[in-house]
Structure 1
Amino acid sequence: MKRIITILSLALFCLCTQTYAQNRADELMKQAQESLAKKEYIKARYLFLQAYNSFASQEKYAPAVECGVNASALYHRENYYKEAFELLRSAEQLVGSGEQKLKKSLPDLRFRINKERLQMYIDIKNPTRAKEQLNKLAETAKAAGNDSLSNDFLYTQANYYYTFGMNTQGDSAFRKLIERYKQQKNYAKVDECYKKLIDIARKANNATLVARTYDKYIVWADSVKALAAQDKLNILKNKYDGSLATIQEKDDSLSAKQYIIIGLCILTAVLAAALVIGAIVLLRFVMLTRKQKKAIDTANEHNELKSRFIRNISAQMEPTLDTLDPELPGVQALRTFSSHIQELSELENSLSEPYEVQEKNISAFCESIMDKIRNKVQEDVSLTVNAPKLNVKISPEHLERILLHLLENSAEYTPAGGKIWLDFKKRGAHTHQFIISDTGCGIPEAQRENIFKPFTEIKNLTQGDGLGLPICSLIATKMNGSLTLDSSYTKGARFILELHA
């Protein structure tokens, strides 16, 4: 008897523990979603990770994958790609384990994981890896045999093609998706597709695609208006025919027939008024859309004119500068400013053209750059390079341009007895960082937000034109990377150059 009571007690304890764990995981997930809605991204990421681990321990695969994918998206939103990829890899292993235990495939969960991984490769502009993930998504969607996943894949495929400039393939994918919804008479989804395509084109700064899509959207809106009007007319006709039949069936009651006729007249008037109002709303929407399209075209034209104007000013300064004493500081500053303006404009117009890369020993490369500033530092400033003897594919000329500029800045603002470091760190199989730190005066908090933006303040050109960091940032972008200021470092200034192979 005691043994039975003991067994029942243990079973009840296990059940209570399991129920608590389930409730705890659900609560963590709910809190994470609430934090995400409030844009508290760091807190949301932490809560999603906790919920993921809790669901994974309970073998609740669907909510675990949902939380894992959300946490990964928040990681790569802050450029923590290594952590994001590792979390997706963990979720993929969890799904594999679940498939073995359940003895069935879980393509919908694998689809979510691969879709998030594809989005990260799109964000870091890695078309080769993105294409691999796109092929995996196609296989997963086909294996699932699910219309929802199939439609989601077509949208994701179009996003990939437009991002990497393959507009013809992108148009083809979107046409397939739109035709599906048209066949299903799901006009709301067709409308949503056009809006998503316009959003994709805007993010890619593709004015041609925006304009083309707006034209198609306007045609579609007109056709929807006609279909909606026809549907409402058919409804009115059906109701009217039904009312006549009712009147005929109840011919013995004249009073009843009169009430029905009056009711039908009122209904017809209300529906007619609704049709008129709907037509007015649609017409206003079409006009507004056309105005927006015109505004976009005008803005793009003005941007091009502005860039051309700035280049012309820079070029026209050269003959005048040639007539002035080149030894004067003001003349030298103007020449440098003119050169920087032209370089900035050229970089903005060629961001989609990557640099050629070479394989270099990163330790020797970093040492050679550090040697170039040894005679520029103040007394007793310590110069340190921490880089392994590792061969890495880089664009030497342009990488040296960025690192040398940052190190020269550190040399200028680091007082006697200070320190300057150049560190190299690998952050994954295809990601590495160059970190430049110093113990100088640092960058005032009020200036940090705009240090990578050109022409944000009026400056004395003899003290620098402030275009060095914006130019370095654009060069980093062309090298498939990014240049950022580490705001958490408080002992001076620290810049992080992250490159993706």
Structure 2
Amino acid sequence: MELNAAWLKVDFYYFSGDTDKIEAQVELAKKLSKACNNPKAYYFIWGNRLITSYIIQNKMNIALYEVNKMLKEAEQEDYKPGIAECFRSFAVIYLSQGVLPLAIEYFQKEIDLYESEDIPNHNLPVEYSSLAQCAIELNRVEQAEEAIKKGKAQMDISDPYQVFTMCKASLYLYLHQKEFTKALEELQTMEKLCAENENMNQFIDSLHDAQLKYYRKTRQHDKALATIDKLSKEEPYKSTVYLSNGLNKDRGNIYRETGKFADATQAYWQYIQGNDTLTSHTMQNAISEFNTILEVELLQKDKKALWLDVQKKQLHVTYLIIAFMFTLSIVGLFFYIRIYKLNTKLKNSEAELRIAKEKAEKTSLMKSAFINNMSHEIRTPLNSIVGFSQVLSELNADKPELKEYSDIIDKGSSDLLRLIDDVLSLSSIDQEDEIPYNIPDDINNACNESINAVSSNIKPEVELAFVPSRHDLIIQTNPIKVTQILTQLLHNATKFTEHGKIELSYEIVNKQIIYSITDTGIGIPEEEQEHVFERFVKLNSFSQGTGLGLSLCRLIAEKIGGCLTIDKEYKSGCRFLLVLPFIQ
């Protein structure tokens, strides 16, 4: 009875949004669950209430910290439903931050664990629906279709919420496949379920969200705008800044598509202002969350250090007494004690090293999560600035001075976005052992894309040329990474070439593709040609950039099985040679 009462209080604070009281009440309910030997209640209250509450408050770092704690405890107890609950919490966190590949991975882990261990879960079709929606966003149509098929096979048709979620997943799939008639049928089923079941009123925002997606895809702009107005007055959009701000972006996109550029500008401006506020709050929350985590870690460390100090003092006193009693009479025992003390210190050292290793691994995971969060938070306002400046440029096409200012904003934002991409890419690639190099693609595609990417930066007196040696040749490659390297090298050439020519070419020799980027610019002194590949190295301290571009290019080249060097024999400028495996 006491546990039930505590559980009801947790639910009351959770659904009423009383975040100040829920933490203390969750701790009380967890203790009662342990005392009653009820692990199901223990992990449900921890994951589905406390951690979900942190996610709703956008306290993602604290949420990740709590999930890691819960996962460690569940694994120690070997409680499979608790581990599955941790996987679900990880998936929801990454889904809320837009990290869809990780969200899919943890939804799949949760489902696989329930099915492999034959653990009963009435709401498993809901998890299949979430998995399918994430897969659709990443264009993984086959994975989405399989998830929907399995979810419908296990769906309880008497449960309106399960039917609702599977209809929503099917709706998104049909919209993705442009089968609008089937999509409308699924939407009408969802509307009917909400109309006929009072308990579905709490999911009315989810229905409106589905309606908005349908109207956007079918270009019913007036209905889409009306749905946005409804969502802005409903929970959780009404009280959640990043959700309500996303509606401003959707509104701006609709106005832009219908040619209402003034309204689009106003909507984008509201979106940018909201993003500025959200970014500031996010940074403050991140600092506060890390301070909270740090304080907890320091308290635990101090407590452990105090306990170890007491133990060491007790052990030391014991050793002194034994030494005093037996040293004079038994020499052999003295040596035994000495060896015992050395072994004890060795074991303590091993334990400390093991703890340090675990902390380092945990810190690495938290750093990766933090980088993903910050990547999303930084890119979003920058993308907004770029979009807004493009709208301004279109609106002021007949005003040369204003168009020039808009173009400057666009270029500056793009440069800043590229610099941030370099830093984040370098941090991400450092943690990867190797990069895939097995994607079939035309050998000329990466070259053409890189040429197109830098063509707008070419100075008037410079000629940009691409000289292909093969046509319609399909190879095994990594088009994204190869394009990234070639674009960076061409971008460097455009910065330091004032007149003459920049040429991209390649040749195939001894099962190797040798890409050549040649310019007639200022060149690189021979004694500096290896130094420039080091991180944060810039020969000209006044030039734009972080000094990471060439270092990142070489790192990527090596991890896809190639190398990047400078041709020392070329003296009329600079020539970079990118050598990669030739695999058909």
Q: TM-score, normalised by structure 1?
A: 0.42
Larger radius of gyration: 1
Which structure has more RCO (C-alpha within 8 Å, separation ≥ 6)?
1
TM-score (norm 2): 0.37
